[in-house]
Chains A and B, each alone.
Chain A
Amino acid sequence: MQALDGVSMEIPAEQVTAMIGPSGCGKSTFLRCINRMNDLVEAARIEGELLFDGKNVYDGDVDPVALRRHIGMVFQHPNPFPKSIYDNVAYGLRVQNDTDNMDERVEEALKRAALWDEVSDQLDKSALDLSGGQQQRLCIARAIAVDPNVILMDEPASALDPIATSKIEDLIEELAEDYTVIIVTHNMQQAARISDKTAVFLTGGELVEFDDTETIFENPEYQRVEDYITGKFG
């Protein structure tokens, strides 16, 4: 089966781009194409180009592991390692053997992820003892500790309560000052609240409309998009 079709878009740097659409429309598949997570899917075949800083990430000389250091990812369910809070954040740096000023960089990542004030006196505690919302912010801290350019987020707040969700949303807006954030969400109001650009995928993996978020939610160009976001669908 073909999961994506006719997807052509220019994702702006250091802004939040949201991808919305019904279940099975291909938005998460597309997100995973960006840092070649779909390489892990057996029999997946990809055509076309995906340019990151002008370089096609599917070129033969691109190392997917190195690519993922530049394009980090945060998943729907928080997935901290069963290690201390500190070790979770330090993990990526250690893997890269990049351990200078480790304490400062762990602190900086936790601060950027708006978690430092809540965990600064318990860095040795297991990450698994944190609340769901804290775990998700820890995963964001882990992703940004290696200083990526792009952060992909696949429904990062869908398993969280409203308070934890608003903390994540605030954080996403702050992160966009330094990083390019691309988020898949089922929550259209969330997309409207936090994103600068919105891409609407509809059934068949087709990117139907991609525009400023205000335009998508106030005056979309395509009737199919209008029908989808206003709750009519065919």
Chain B
Amino acid sequence: MIVVAREQYQAALDELRAAVVALGEMAIDQLEDGLRALETGDADLAREVIDGDGAINDRYLAIEDECIDLLALQQPVASDLRFVAASFKICTDLERVGDLATNLGEYALSTDGNAGEPDVQAIGEDARDQLRAALDAYQHGDAAACRTVAARDDDLDALCQRASERVVRDLLEREAGDDAWASERILDDVSRVLLTLRDLERVGDHAVNVAARSLYMLESDSELLY
């Protein structure tokens, strides 16, 4: 029978895991709301997303404090050490996803509700699914899922790349066919779509980071870190 000593310490580790997962849920909610605001042009929802970033930042800082307290006061070792180190890094990625969701809210406010690029929603859902899978892998300690997230990132990158090229190609073709067309408004729309695609691609990168740190946590394997 395994006797678990240091019960408060074990409870603190469990609480840290729950706090990181909760931060991840908040980031995913923000991402989904940002995508919906972009799709529908719902200005109230967009402002909610922008205002909601403060809560994510607060929780992120609280998790950092908790990690530092655990390191200073409990001196975790072995798998516990890797768990705290991974959590410390993962919460930064999740906070950055919150910032990117805020960007989506900003883009939604600067358009009339038509982002002009149908791929954005599908790509956004892919990025969200990647983040969800990485967070689940962290929560449940699933090393195989970590590797799957990393492998799938190339697909997301390719989707973003193709969508960006299409947007630029459309712009060039329209410019060639219509001399009077080159209005600042359309350029703004194109820039916004490109920025949106870049941000969603970065959400995917953060999902990979979460998976990479989780794999290190589980197997002391840094193969996915770069």
Query: Which A residues touch B6, using CB under 8 A?
Result: 231
| A218-B220, A219-B220 given; A230·B79 CB < 8 A | yes
Task: Report how many A-B pairs have Cβ atoms within 8 Å.
Answer: 43
Interface residues on A, range: 10 to 19
State the interface size on chain B (CB cutoff 8 A): 17
Q: How far is the CA of A189 from the CA of B2 in the complex (A)?
A: 23
Min CB distance A159 to B, Å, is: 21
| Residue contact A233 to B77, C-beta cutoff 8 Å | no
B5: Cβ under 8 A from any A Cβ: yes
A128: Cβ under 8 A from any B Cβ: no
Min CB distance B71 to A, Å, is: 12
| A218-B78, A218-B82 given; A233·B220 CB < 8 A | no
Query: Which A residues touch B81, using CB under 8 A?
Result: 217-218
Query: Which B residues touch A188, using CB under 8 A?
Result: 77
Min CB distance B72 to A, Å, is: 12
| Residue contact B78 to A189, C-beta cutoff 8 Å | no
Q: Mark B4-29, 1 if CB is under 8 A from A, else 0.
A: 11100110000000000000000000
Question: Of A192, A226, A232, which is in contact with the most chain B CB atoms at under 10 Å from its CB?
Answer: A232
B75: Cβ under 8 A from any A Cβ: yes
Q: Mark B80-111, 1 if CB is under 8 A from A, else 0.
A: 11100000000000000000000000000000
Min CB distance B1 to A, Å, is: 6
Q: Mark A30-66, 1 if CB is under 8 A from B, else 0.
A: 0000000000000000000000000000000000000
Q: How far is the CA of A192 from the CA of B77 in the complex (A)?
A: 9
Q: How far is the CA of A229 from the CA of B77 in the complex (A)?
A: 7
| Residue contact B5 to A229, C-beta cutoff 8 Å | no
| Residue contact B4 to A232, C-beta cutoff 8 Å | yes
| A218-B220, A219-B220 given; A230·B3 CB < 8 A | no
Q: How far is the CA of A188 from the CA of B78 in the complex (A)?
A: 12
Give the nearest-CB partner of A233 in chain B.
B3
Q: How far is the CA of A7 from the CA of B87 in the complex (A)?
A: 37
Q: Mark B159-190, 1 if CB is under 8 A from A, else 0.
A: 00000000000000000000000000000000
| Residue contact B78 to A220, C-beta cutoff 8 Å | yes
| Residue contact B80 to A227, C-beta cutoff 8 Å | no
Query: Which A residues touch B80, using CB under 8 A?
Result: 230
B76: Cβ under 8 A from any A Cβ: yes
| Residue contact B78 to A219, C-beta cutoff 8 Å | yes
Min CB distance A70 to B, Å, is: 34
Q: What residues make up the interface of A, taking CB atoms closer than 8 Å to B?
A: 188-189, 192, 216-220, 225-227, 229-234
Listed by A's residue number, 14 A-B pairs whose Cβ atoms lie within 8 Å are A188-B77, A192-B77, A219-B78, A219-B79, A225-B78, A230-B79, A231-B5, A231-B6, A232-B2, A232-B5, A233-B5, A234-B1, A234-B2, A234-B3
Q: What residues make up the interface of B, taking CB atoms closer than 8 Å to A?
A: 1-6, 9-10, 75-82, 220
